[in-house]
A and B are shown apart, each in its own frame.
Chain A
Amino acid sequence: MNTLILLLATGLGLGGLYFLVASGLSLIYGLMGVLNFAHGSFLTLGAFVGLAAANTVGADTWPGLALGLVVGSLTGAAAAALTELGLIRPLYDRHIEQVLVTVGLSLASVALFEGIWGPNPRNVTRTDWLGSTTDVLGASVPNTAFLNVLAGAAVLGGIVAFLKFTRYGLIIRAGVENRAMVTALGIDVRRAFTVVFAVGGAAAGLGGVLATQSLNYVSPHMGASLLIFAFIVTVIGGMGSLPGAAVASVVVAVLQQLANYYLNNTGDVIVVLLLALVLLVRPSGLMGRPA
C-alpha cells in the first residue's frame, strides 16, 4: 500500500514535468502544425541559465529557487520566441522544412551546450525541503513531486486562463479551429505564433529548472530524454489538445512508475506499447479531433 502511494505520487510529479514540456508542443502543433524538435533545447537552456541565476543568490535557499524558476522560464520564452522569429517564420507554411530546421537546431544546440557546460551530468544543490521527503499515509514521498504537480497544475490553469480571457488567447483558439478564416478576417495570426512559441518555451524552461530539482543533476541531454516522452504524451493525448496532454501526462507517468516497480523496469517499453494500443483503437488520440 505504501509503495503504491509512493509510486502514484512520484508518477504524478513526473506527469507534471511531462505536461510542462507537452503543453508547449501541443499548443504549437495545434496552432501552427509544427513539430518542435528544439523544445528539449529550450528546456535544457532554461535549466542551465536558471540554475546559474539561482546560484548567484544561493541555490539552497527559497529566493534562489524562485529566481531560478523565473529566470529559467524567461530564458525558455526568449529562446523560443527568437527561434520562431528567426527560423520558423521565414519558412512560412512549409511544415516539413520547419520541422527540419528545429531538428537542426536541436542537434546544434545540444552540441553547443556540451561545449559550454561539458557533456556529463552535474549535481545541483537544492533547498533542504526539496531534498527530503514528506510522510503521506505512511509513504515517504519526495517533496519535489509536490512542487512538480503544483507547477503542472499552475501552468495548466495559467494557459487555460490565457486562452479563455485574453485577446491573444481568443486569436489562438480561433486559429487552432480554422486558421484560414482568422487570417481572412484580417487578424495577424503570425504574432500569435510568436506568443505561442514564447508560452511553450516558458513552460519548457520552467520544466527544465524543476527537472533539475527532481533528478538532482543537470545535463545537456536532459531535454532530449524528456522530449521523447513529451512526444508520446502529445500523441496519446491527441495532437493539439491541451486537456488531452494533461490527462495523458499523468496516465503515462503513473503507468511508467508502476511498470518500473512491478514489472521489472519495463516502464519505457510499456509506455510505447500503450502508445501502440491507443493508435490501434483511436488513431487521433484520447481527446484529439478525429482525422
Chain B
Amino acid sequence: MNRTRTLLGGLVILALLGSLPLLALTVPGVLPGYTYEPGTLQLLALCWLTAALALSYHLLFGVAGLMSFGHALYFAAGIYGLAIVLDRTDVPLLPAAALVLVGGIALAFLVGAVSLRVTGISFAMVTLAFAQAGNVLVRRDQGDVTGGEEGLALATGGVPDALVGVVNTRNLYWLALVVLVVVYLVVLWIERTRAGHMAAAVRENEVRVRIIGGRPYLTKLVVFVLAASLATVVGMAYLLLQSGASPATSTADFTLTLLVMVVLGGVGSRWGAVVGAVLYTLLDQRLAELAHSAAVAGLPAVLRIPLSEPMFLLGTCFILVVVFLPGGLAGAARRLADRQERRDERAPEAATA
C-alpha cells in the first residue's frame, strides 16, 4: 500500500517535471524565467545532471562509506572522452558513448584497484592525487587533444540534430531528466542487490564482514567501479548539455562540491543527494546573480566582499549544516517525522554516518 503510494507519487512528480518545457510556470527568485525558455530549461537540466552525479557519489560515500576526493576524474573522463572521440573520429554518438563508457570503466578499475589498498583518510588522499594527475593532464594538454585551459568545444558532426543548439534545449532537458531517472533506478537497484547490502556491511564493520567470509576489497572495488561508470555516463550527457568541456570539471574542488551536496542533503539518503544537488546548483546560480546585483555593489566592503563570493556563502552554509544539522536535510526531515509520529516515547536519534 505504502509502496504503491510512493511509486504513484514518484510518477506524478516525474510527469510534472517531464512536462515543464510545455508549461509556462515560473518561481520568482528561484528560476531565471518561464519554464519553456531555453535559459530556465538549461539551468533545470544542469540541476538534474548534477543530481545524477551526486547520486553516483552517494553510492560511493553514502552506501559504501568510501570518501573519495577524486570522483570528478570519472565525470571528466566522460566529458573529455566523448568530446575527444567526437572531435577526432567520425564515430556516431551512441557507439562513441559506448566506447567512452568502456574506457571509463577500465580507468575506474585501475585507479580503484590501487587506491583501495588503503582505507579511510589515506584512501581520500590517494583518490585526490589520481584526480589531480588527470586534471594536470587535461590542463597541460601535451598532445594538443584536450584544449588545455580553454577546454574543448563539442564537435557536432556525429551528434543527432535534435540534440544540438539552443532551439533544442528542451530535448536536452528531457535527456538530462532521463539520465537522472536511470541513475536513480540503477542506484536503487544496486542498493537492493547482495552487493549493495555487502557494501553497507563493509561500511559499518569491515573486520566483521571479513570474519563471516565476505571479501571487503572486492565489494568496495565493485561499488567504486559502478559509481565511477555512472559518473562517466552523466559526464557524457553534461558534454551534450554544455556543448563543450571545461577543465574546471576535473578539479579537486569539483569533487569537493559533490561532497558538499551529498552532505547538505544527508549522507546515506538518495533523496537527500538529489535535493542537495538541486539546491546547491540553484543556490550557486542565484548567489552569482546576487553577487553582481546593484544592491550588493552599494554595500560597505565588510558586507560586499563576502556577499559577492557565492562559494564563501555556500562553504559557510556547509560548515553550519555539518556542525548543527547532523544528517543534513534528510536527517532533519526524518527527525521531524519521527517527532510527529511518536510524541510520547522519544525516537532514538537517527544514526548519522
Contact in complex: A96, B118 (CB < 8 Å): no
Contacts of B353 in A (CB 8 A): 96
Interface set, chain B 339-353, CB cutoff 8 A to A: 353
Contacts of A280 in B (CB 8 A): 114, 117
B: interface residue count bin: 35 or more
- Whole-angstrom CA separation of A107 from B313 in the bound complex: 10
Identify which of A35, A97, A234 contacts B322 (C-beta below 8 A). A97
Identify which of B115, B133, B253, B308 contacts A279 (C-beta below 8 A). B115
Contacts of A103 in B (CB 8 A): 256, 259-260, 318
- Whole-angstrom CA separation of A112 from B313 in the bound complex: 9
Q: Of all chain A residues, which has the CB nearest B130? A: A272
Contact in complex: B125, A235 (CB < 8 Å): yes
Q: Given A104-B260, A239-B121: A90 and B323 within 8 A (CB)?
A: yes
Contact in complex: A272, B132 (CB < 8 Å): yes
Interface set, chain A 103-122, CB cutoff 8 A to B: 103-112, 114-116
Instruction: Tell me if B222 is interfacial: C-beta within 8 Å of chain A.
Output: no
Contact in complex: B132, A228 (CB < 8 Å): yes
Contact in complex: B323, A269 (CB < 8 Å): no
- Encoded as 1 (CB less than 8 Å from any B CB) or 0, chain A from 75 to 104 comes to 000000000000100110001110111011
Contact in complex: B263, A111 (CB < 8 Å): no
Contact in complex: B122, A235 (CB < 8 Å): yes
Contacts of A107 in B (CB 8 A): 253, 256-257, 260, 311, 314-315, 318
Contact in complex: B252, A228 (CB < 8 Å): yes
- Encoded as 1 (CB less than 8 Å from any A CB) or 0, chain B from 125 to 151 comes to 110111011001100101000000000
Contact in complex: A272, B140 (CB < 8 Å): no
Instruction: Tell me if A231 is interfacial: C-beta within 8 Å of chain B.
Output: yes
Instruction: Tell me if B43 is interfacial: C-beta within 8 Å of chain A.
Output: no
Instruction: Tell me if B12 is interfacial: C-beta within 8 Å of chain A.
Output: no
Contact in complex: A108, B319 (CB < 8 Å): yes
Instruction: Tell me if A62 is interfacial: C-beta within 8 Å of chain B.
Output: no
Contacts of B136 in A (CB 8 A): 268-269
- Whole-angstrom CA separation of A90 from B326 in the bound complex: 13
Q: Given A107-B318, A111-B315, A228-B252: A99 and B121 within 8 A (CB)?
A: yes
Interface set, chain B 294-327, CB cutoff 8 A to A: 305-306, 308-316, 318-319, 322-323, 326
Contacts of B142 in A (CB 8 A): 264-265
Q: Of all chain A residues, which has the CB nearest B137? A: A269
Contact in complex: A97, B315 (CB < 8 Å): no
Chain B nearest CB: distance from A245 CB in Å?
Answer: 13
Q: Given A101-B322, A103-B260, A115-B309: A235 and B315 within 8 A (CB)?
A: no
Contacts of A275 in B (CB 8 A): 126, 129
- Whole-angstrom CA separation of A112 from B308 in the bound complex: 9
User: How many residues of A are in contact with the other chain, CB < 8 A?
Assistant: 44
Contacts of B263 in A (CB 8 A): 100
Contacts of A264 in B (CB 8 A): 142
Q: Of all chain A residues, which has the CB nearest B304? A: A115
Instruction: Tell me if A169 is interfacial: C-beta within 8 Å of chain B.
Output: no
- Whole-angstrom CA separation of A111 from B311 in the bound complex: 6
Chain A nearest CB: distance from B263 CB in Å?
Answer: 6
Contact in complex: A279, B310 (CB < 8 Å): no
Contact in complex: B126, A235 (CB < 8 Å): yes
Instruction: Tell me if B124 is interfacial: C-beta within 8 Å of chain A.
Output: yes
Q: Of all chain B residues, which has the CB nearest A105? A: B319
Q: Given A104-B316, A105-B319: A276 and B114 within 8 A (CB)?
A: yes
- Whole-angstrom CA separation of A115 from B263 in the bound complex: 26
Contacts of A272 in B (CB 8 A): 129-130, 132-133
Contact in complex: A231, B125 (CB < 8 Å): yes
Q: Of all chain B residues, which has the CB nearest A231? A: B125
Chain A nearest CB: distance from B296 CB in Å?
Answer: 11
Q: Given A97-B326, A228-B128, A269-B137: A108 and B311 within 8 A (CB)?
A: yes
Contact in complex: B316, A108 (CB < 8 Å): yes
Interface core residue of A96, A106, A112, A224 (most chain B CB under 10 Å):
A96
- Whole-angstrom CA separation of A104 from B322 in the bound complex: 9
Interface set, chain B 221-272, CB cutoff 8 A to A: 252-253, 256-257, 259-260, 263
Q: Of all chain B residues, which has the CB nearest A282? A: B117
Instruction: Tell me if B273 is interfacial: C-beta within 8 Å of chain A.
Output: no
Instruction: Tell me if B45 is interfacial: C-beta within 8 Å of chain A.
Output: no
Instruction: Tell me if A232 is interfacial: C-beta within 8 Å of chain B.
Output: yes
Instruction: Tell me if A29 is interfacial: C-beta within 8 Å of chain B.
Output: yes
Instruction: Tell me if B152 is interfacial: C-beta within 8 Å of chain A.
Output: no
Contact in complex: B319, A111 (CB < 8 Å): no
Instruction: Tell me if A33 is interfacial: C-beta within 8 Å of chain B.
Output: yes
Instruction: Tell me if B67 is interfacial: C-beta within 8 Å of chain A.
Output: yes
In the A-B complex, the 9 residue pairs with the closest CB atoms:
A108-B315, A111-B311, A107-B315, A111-B312, A115-B305, A272-B133, A104-B318, A104-B319, A111-B309
Contact sample, A vs B, 5 pairs, CB 8 Å cutoff: A35-B124, A101-B319, A107-B256, A108-B319, A115-B305
A97-B326, A104-B322 known, 7 other contacts, Cβ within 8 Å: A99-B121, A103-B259, A104-B316, A104-B319, A111-B315, A228-B128, A276-B130
Chain B positions near chain A (C-beta within 8 angstroms) = 67, 114-115, 117-119, 121-122, 124-126, 128-130, 132-133, 136-137, 140, 142, 252-253, 256-257, 259-260, 263, 305-306, 308-316, 318-319, 322-323, 326, 353
